[in-house]
Structure 1
Amino acid sequence: MQSYISTTPFGRRPLTLANVASQAAAKARSPEVAVHKWNVFRAICTAKDRIGVSERALAVLDALLSFHPETALTGDDLIVFPSNHQLSLRAHGMAPATLRRHLAALVDCGLIIRRDSPNGKRYARKGRDGAVELAFGFDLAPLVTRAAEFEAWADDVRSEERALKLVRERITICRRDIAKMIATGIEEGVETRRDGQGPADWAAVHMLYREIVGRIPRTAPRQQLEPIAEELSMLADEVLSLLENHQKISNLSGNESQTERHKQNSTPNPLTELEPDFPTKPATNIEPLPQQRNLHEKSYPLGMVLDACPDLLDYAKGGISNWRDFLATVTVVRPMLGISPSAWEEAQAAMGEVQAAIVIAAILQRSSAINSAGGYLRSLTRKADADEFSLGPMLMALLGSRHRAKRHA
């Protein structure tokens, strides 16, 4: 007698048109087609969002595939019939109710087909020779039928991930280049206007840069990041053009007969400004710098400071992992804000090196609301001399405003 293959699920589970379509596609497949089950599984894992299946459901599919004895999925013998207990063990001890829910999800996604027995149990009938003649369980035929579809989806996902990675790298490089070129332009006194056109000063360039960077979300698709990357690339080209034109003008204005030239170090070493010079001879009397303090004296945690003033990271060379990196970055930002060396020295004398640097980072964070960074720093310095200034409330206010902005977003 010829056996009949069930097409409807046992019990109250309904039969949907999607189930009928999956069964029809599985019935129409050629028995000679063979696919590597783990290659198909990896493709499904890659394209899981497009398929609409969760990680837990994939763990159940992984367990089901392990009950198929062969690596290749081919032929008509593609029904696996493990008990819920054995399937739960191979799914890392998944609870029975959770297991049933994810099995239903795999069926709804068209990854497996139910072949239920009359009483809903999973088992196989064997012939006299020991071969399986009829099995009731889960049919893996859709994995063979849709293998090419899953691979195509996985390729699309991998291509999209690569494109997203490239645009993120482009944004990161542009941000680094623009920040450093702006700092160089300020240090070198490069003019930003040419023939009456262009931004008024480097502060305007920096504001334009911050406006573009401020539109970068934490998580966004490639389509949203590509226009921002294009804007940053154009801004980087314009800033580089300003520096190159300044260099050309400087070279043309040079004269062979001039023997004395103004020398300005365009790449100053921040460490020389952060540490006092040591005497070269034991007998030399050198007056120590006023109020040189330990880097960690009366300082707040570095992580808390960076959380309150994240804009400083845009000007860091290789990131900020310690206070020395923090101070080196502040030496780049300070002239960009228009703070004179005298105002900086007075602030260091009144507050200490680290706390004065934290104030600079806070001023950078609130640069859009401060008209004169140098005047604001001198005002804080006078308050510090009179013991009327505390750094804690300033940091707490910055942290509070960032957290409120995040909640509002």
Structure 2
Amino acid sequence: MTLSQISRQMAAKAIKPDTAAHKWHVFKDIREARELIGATDRGLAILNALLTFHPETTLAGDAELVVWPSNEQLMARANGMPATTLRRHLAVLVDCGLIIRRDSPNGKRFARKGRSGEIEQAYGFDLSPIVARAEEFKDLAEAVRDEKKAFRVAKEQLTLLRRDIVKLIDVGIEERVPGNWGRVQQSYQAIVGRLPRSAPRQTVEEVCMDLHGLCSEIRDVLESFAKTQNLDANESHFGRHIQNSNPDSISESEYSFGKEDEAGGNAAETDNVRSLPRRDLPLGIVLDACPEIRELAQGGVIRHWRDLLAAAEVARPMLGISPSAWREACEVIGEQHAAITLAGIYQRAGQINNAGGYLRSLTDRARDGKFSTWPMVMALLRAKLDAQKAADTLDRGRSNDAAEAGDRLQVSDSLLKSLQRPKSR
């Protein structure tokens, strides 16, 4: 005997006489909520057998609810359950508060009837908790059904998210959308790998939240790229068409980007541009030399190197440069210098028929120490200064307004002196 059993007996005694419950409806609720109640499958089989010994389908609070079958009868109706198993699971039913033992002085189960045939005293198993706790069992069963429904919805959402993310990653790879798709796949596998073989609903929902965030990020990238492609198809926005032809059309000035050996730094290098110091290029100089890359930046503004890298990722597919060529350039000269190189190629895209082949050529030269971004940027700056000089010659005699002065390339005196120094032949 335990205190919980005593409290359940008190609740059973407090049943109102007019209370009634359909025994099979209550048994169905108990079966659905058996895990919350603590019942076992064998215990439910015994309870089902006990209910069959009560002649009435509706159990009333004012009726005699004690049944007294022998162990042999119970074993027969419980599909031949062994006696030891029967006793063990009868104890489980008592502990769960589904039945109450009404023991006789000698431990036997029987009923004593009066002269009129009515039962005066019965010893066996009291089924009154079935009536007393009918509403409780109904609420527990409803909670279990709601939990199963929520779990089913979570698993369906998980399946849809996994399918959508795999398809979106495939689209990004096949359409050559800029991005580190290998890293995206690793992130997806890491999230899915947190799912155990039998995951609870809370774990499934947490994984779904992370997958939903990843799916939203992938969609944003693909939608942004699709918008860029639509703008590119409009031709009026960019005003050029990149052609992919077999031969590399590289002019003499393009060879000056990296044709000669720059690694040695000896006296044989007579190009004034190539004699500039070996240091990182300022972002402002790169943008002065390659202003058209700003078109591809978000908001048309590049303030940091990461903005230039993002614009380069957009320019790469527009120039027809394959992901492998871009990846190789980043590995050889670094992401920052690869972005500068691509900005220079984009600046002169109208003079380069095969941008992908040209980038691979520059990457090979950089691997051999024959190419760096300084000469390329300086050559573009010098070309821009020459164009400005020609414009000044043609416009001499006319006053320049403030807007024309604002568009002119501004460089330092030392850099201007270095760019204007004649090259030795």
Q: Same fold (TM over 0.5)?
A: yes
Q: Hey, what does 1:215 align to over in structure 2?
A: 194
Q: Deviations over 1:323-381 (max 9, x none)?
A: xxxxxxxxxxxxxxx999xxxxxxxxxxxxxxxxxxxxxxxxxxxxxxxxxxxxxxxxx
Q: Hey, what does 1:97 align to over in structure 2?
A: 84
3-state secondary structure, aligned to 1:137: strand
> Does residue 1:36 correspond to 2:22, yes or no?
yes
User: How far off is 1:16 after superposition?
Assistant: 2.5
3-state secondary structure, aligned to 1:253: helix
**Percent identity at matched positions?**
52
Matched positions, count: 242
- Partner amino acid, structure 2, of 1:243: L
Q: Hey, what does 1:243 align to over in structure 2?
A: 222
Equivalents in 2 of 1:237, 1:18: separation in Å?
Answer: 52
Q: Hey, what does 1:188 align to over in structure 2?
A: 175
Moved more, 57-66 or 115-124: 115-124
User: How far off is 1:230 after superposition?
Assistant: 0.3
Give the TM-score taking structure 1 as reference length.
0.56
Q: Hey, what does 2:211 align to over in structure 1?
A: 232
- Structure 1: 5+ residue runs without aligned partners? 1-14, 193-200, 263-337, 341-409
Pick from 106, 118, 130 the counterpart of residue 119 of structure 1. 106
Equivalents in 2 of 1:124, 1:66: separation in Å?
Answer: 17
3-state secondary structure, aligned to 2:143: helix
Equivalents in 2 of 1:154, 1:237: separation in Å?
Answer: 37
Pick from 177, 184, 195 the counterpart of residue 205 of structure 1. 184
Q: Hey, what does 1:179 align to over in structure 2?
A: 166
Q: Hey, what does 2:64 align to over in structure 1?
A: 77
Pick from 96, 117, 121 the counterpart of residue 130 of structure 1. 117
User: How far off is 1:255 after superposition?
Assistant: 3.7
- Partner amino acid, structure 2, of 1:154: A
Q: Deviations over 1:72-95 (max 9, x none)?
A: 111231111111111111101001
Moved more, 122-131 or 214-223: 122-131
Equivalents in 2 of 1:112, 1:80: separation in Å?
Answer: 10
Question: Greater CA radius of gyration, 1 or 2?
Answer: 2
Q: Hey, what does 1:285 align to over in structure 2?
A: none
Decide whether aligned partners of structure 1 residues 43 and 203 sit closer, same or farther in structure 2, where only a CA change above 3 A counts.
Answer: same
> Does residue 1:252 correspond to 2:238, yes or no?
no
> Does residue 1:152 correspond to 2:139, yes or no?
yes
- Partner amino acid, structure 2, of 1:171: L
Equivalents in 2 of 1:104, 1:339: separation in Å?
Answer: 70
3-state secondary structure, aligned to 2:233: coil
User: How far off is 1:213 after superposition?
Assistant: 1.0
Decide whether aligned partners of structure 1 residues 20 and 249 sit closer, same or farther in structure 2, where only a CA change above 3 A counts.
Answer: same
Give the alignment of 1:4-19 within 5 angstroms. 15-19=1-5
Q: Hey, what does 2:395 align to over in structure 1?
A: none
- Partner amino acid, structure 1, of 2:226: Q
Q: Hey, what does 2:45 align to over in structure 1?
A: 59
User: How far off is 1:261 after superposition?
Assistant: 11
Moved more, 60-69 or 116-125: 116-125
- Structure 2: 5+ residue runs without aligned partners? 244-322, 326-425
Equivalents in 2 of 1:255, 1:22: separation in Å?
Answer: 79
- Partner amino acid, structure 2, of 1:39: H
User: How far off is 1:226 after superposition?
Assistant: 1.7
3-state secondary structure, aligned to 2:112: strand
Q: CA RMSD in A?
A: 2.3
Equivalents in 1 of 2:185, 2:5: separation in Å?
Answer: 59
Q: Deviations over 1:130-171 (max 9, x none)?
A: 232221110000111111111111111211121111111111
- Partner amino acid, structure 2, of 1:220: A
Equivalents in 1 of 2:234, 2:143: separation in Å?
Answer: 60
User: How far off is 1:28 after superposition?
Assistant: 1.0
- Partner amino acid, structure 2, of 1:231: D
Decide whether aligned partners of structure 1 residues 122 and 210 sit closer, same or farther in structure 2, where only a CA change above 3 A counts.
Answer: same
Give the TM-score taking structure 2 as reference length.
0.54
Moved more, 177-186 or 149-158: 149-158
Equivalents in 2 of 1:185, 1:107: separation in Å?
Answer: 61
User: How far off is 1:229 after superposition?
Assistant: 0.7
Runs of 4+ in 1 over 3 A off after TM superposition: 255-258
Equivalents in 2 of 1:31, 1:118: separation in Å?
Answer: 28
Q: Deviations over 1:221-263 (max 9, x none)?
A: 22222221101001111111222222222122114899x999x
3-state secondary structure, aligned to 1:238: helix
